[in-house]
Amino acid sequence: MKKTNILKENNFYFLVNKLFFQIEDNLKLYENEMDLDYTIQDYVMTISFSKNNLIIINKQEILRQVWLATTINGYHFNYINNQWICNRTNKNFWEIFENAFFIQSKKM
C-alpha cells in the first residue's frame, strides 16, 4: 500500500513560504556573480538568466505539491519526511534545483 502524505492547507502554505524564502536566500548569494533576476508573484517564482533561460517554481495548491520547470524538464515535489521529494526521481528539491540552476546559468 502506497503511503500518502496529505498536508493540511495552512501547513502547506507555511512549508511553501519557507521553501521560497530559502530559495531567495540562496539566489542572493549569486546576484553579484552572475546575470540573474527573480520575481515572486502569487506563489510563482521566476528565475531569469541571460538568453531567456528560466526556472519557474510554483505551488500546486490542490495537489499540495511544488512544481519546478526548466527549459529541459519539469518536476513535481511532495512533502515527505520533512523534505520536498520529486515524485518521479525520489530526489530532494535542493538536489534538482541546484542542478537545474547551474545548467540554466551556464547556458548564458
pLDDT computed for residue 10 by the predictor = 83
Q: What is the CA radius of gyration of the chain?
A: 14
Of 2 and 104, the structure prediction assigns the larger pLDDT to 104
Segment 91-104 shows an average pLDDT of: 94
Higher-pLDDT residue of 51 and 47 is 47
Antiparallel, parallel or unpaired: β 36-41 and 83-86: unpaired
Q: Has residue 35 got a pLDDT over 70?
A: yes
- Residue spans per domain, the chain: 9-106
User: What pLDDT, on a 0 to 100 scale, did the predictor assign at position 71?
Assistant: 83
Q: Taking the domain 9-106, which CATH number applies?
A: 3.30.920.10
User: Is residue 86 within 8 Å of 96, Cβ to Cβ?
Assistant: yes
| Position 108 pLDDT exceeds 70 | no
- Report the pLDDT value the prediction gives residue 3, as an integer from 0 to 100: 47
pTM of the model: 0.86
Q: What is the rounded CA–CA span in Å between residue 58 and residue 9?
A: 15
CA-based nearest residue to 53, from 1, 101, 4, 2:
101
Which residues, at least 6 apart from 78, have a Cβ–Cβ distance to it below 8 Å? 5, 64, 65, 84, 85, 87
What burial class does residue 49 get, using C-beta atoms within 10 Å of its C-beta: 0-12 exposed, 13-18 middle, 19+ buried? buried
Residues ≥6 apart with Cβ < 8 Å to 93 = 19, 66, 68, 77, 83, 84, 85, 86
Which has more confidence, 4 or 11? 11
pLDDT band at 107 (very low <50, low <70, confident <90, very high): low
